[in-house]
Amino acid sequence: MSTDFGTGFVARTITTADGLRLHARDYGSDLNAALPVICLPGLTRNSRDFHQLAIFLSRHPQFPRRVIALDYRGRGLSDWDDNKTNYNIAVEAQDVLMLCDALNVPRAAFIGTSRGGLILHLIAVMKPELLAGVVLNDVGPVLEPAGLRHIQDYLSQARRPENFADAAEILRGLHGRDFPALSADDWREMAQAICRQDSSLIVSDFDPAIAEAMRAADLSKSLPDMWAQLEAMAVAPLMIVRGENSKLLSEETANKMLRRHPRAERLIASGQGHAPLLHIDGIAERLQQFIEACG
């Protein structure tokens, strides 16, 4: 049976400095005593990616805690930006800081998947006192060109699904080789998280301009690394989650992160690629233990 993505949270809306309305899911909003968790999704993903993990953390029998998951501008239920150049990690990092102010979160454990992890590299420099702990899900200071090309490739696939079951099969066809750990239910839930129904159509739940910019990126040029930003992250414990079959975060980079961060540990998501689901195969339990140690 597929997850009910529409219950278990309070819907929040904040307004950005440039007037956009952003949507967030607030799980366990009455759990103000424990350190909250803020979840930041990948490039074209949204807050639904974290639903199962957020339910697990907010309803933990011993250590329940508040979990907030954000839809960036142009994703999920948040407004699309008319200025498409604002779809960048610097602007989105400012939006995260505004979210924290609006929801009265002075300090939190953060989970950043892919792009969310890049945003956390910036926040480590912009406002390090926010970070009580950081989970980087399959992302680091160096992004492998092969992983970026894979993202370009799957964002270029043109087949439009007829229904959510068809969307799940398309996702399995695109990513199945890297994700043997996923069950049929996992693929169906991923489709529900990524897509939405628009009238009679099943469409990706983000502004197409985001994918267009990624498809147009020139990957022949090396991207600047973010090692300095990772070093700024030393103010907080770090958990590095790497998909066993990841093309974006190399084993070499993950090992170097372990050496350069004084309080880092690593978790391998077996049978998963980029980016791992965090609610299967005991990963949620490991993250709960890490967050508990952060406060």
Average pLDDT over residues 151-165: 89
Is 43 in contact with 56 (CB distance < 8 Å)?
no
Predicted structure pTM score: 0.97
For residue 231, pLDDT over 90 is answered with yes
CB burial readout 66-104, b (16+ within 10 A) else e: bbbbbbbbbbbbbbebeeeebbebebbbbbbeebbeebe
Domain 10-145+224-294 has CATH 3.40.50.410: no
Residue 2: the pLDDT is 63
Whole-number Cα distances in Å, 223 to 44, 144, 162, 216, 226: 20, 9, 37, 15, 9
Q: Give the model's confidence band at 217: pLDDT under 50 very low, under 70 low, under 90 confident, else very high.
A: very high
The dihedral through the CA atoms of 199, 203, 209, 212 has a sign that is negative
Average pLDDT over residues 120-128: 98
Count of positions (residues) in the chain? 295
Alpha carbons within 13 A on the beta-carbon side of 127: 16
The DSSP element (H or E) to which 251 belongs, if any, is: helix 251-260
Q: Give the model's confidence band at 266: pLDDT under 50 very low, under 70 low, under 90 confident, else very high.
A: very high
Q: What are phi and psi of 181, to 5 degrees?
A: -75, -15
For residue 272, pLDDT over 50 is answered with yes
The dihedral through the CA atoms of 17, 20, 24, 29 has a sign that is positive
Is 284 in contact with 53 (CB distance < 8 Å)?
yes
Average pLDDT over residues 254-278: 98
**28 — alpha (psi -120 to 50), left (phi > 0) or beta?**
left
Domain regions of the chain by residue span = 10-145+224-294
Q: Give the model's confidence band at 222: pLDDT under 50 very low, under 70 low, under 90 confident, else very high.
A: confident
The dihedral through the CA atoms of 266, 144, 230, 90 has a sign that is negative
The dihedral through the CA atoms of 71, 5, 139, 273 has a sign that is negative
DSSP 31-94: --SSPPEEEE--TT--GGGGHHHHHHHHT-SSS---EEEE--TTBTTSPPPSSGGG-SHHHHHH
**Average pLDDT over the chain, rounded to whole?**
96
What token pair was written down for 257? 């992160």
What token pair was written down for 71? 């839809």
Amino acid, single-letter form, for residue 21: R
Name the least confident of 30-34, 176-180, 262-266.
Answer: 30-34
CB atoms within 10 A of CB 40: 30
The dihedral through the CA atoms of 71, 218, 240, 226 has a sign that is negative
Average pLDDT over residues 259-266: 97
Q: Give the model's confidence band at 33: pLDDT under 50 very low, under 70 low, under 90 confident, else very high.
A: confident
For residue 1, pLDDT over 60 is answered with no
What percent of the chain has a predicted confidence (pLDDT) above 70? 99
CB atoms within 10 A of CB 12: 16
Can the peptide bond before residue 275 be classed as cis, meaning omega within 30 degrees of 0? yes
Q: Give the model's confidence band at 54: pLDDT under 50 very low, under 70 low, under 90 confident, else very high.
A: very high
> Do the bridges between strand 201-204 and strand 195-198 make them parallel or antiparallel, or are there none, so unpaired?
antiparallel
In three-state secondary structure terms, 183 is coil
Name the least confident of 48-62, 99-113, 156-170.
Answer: 156-170
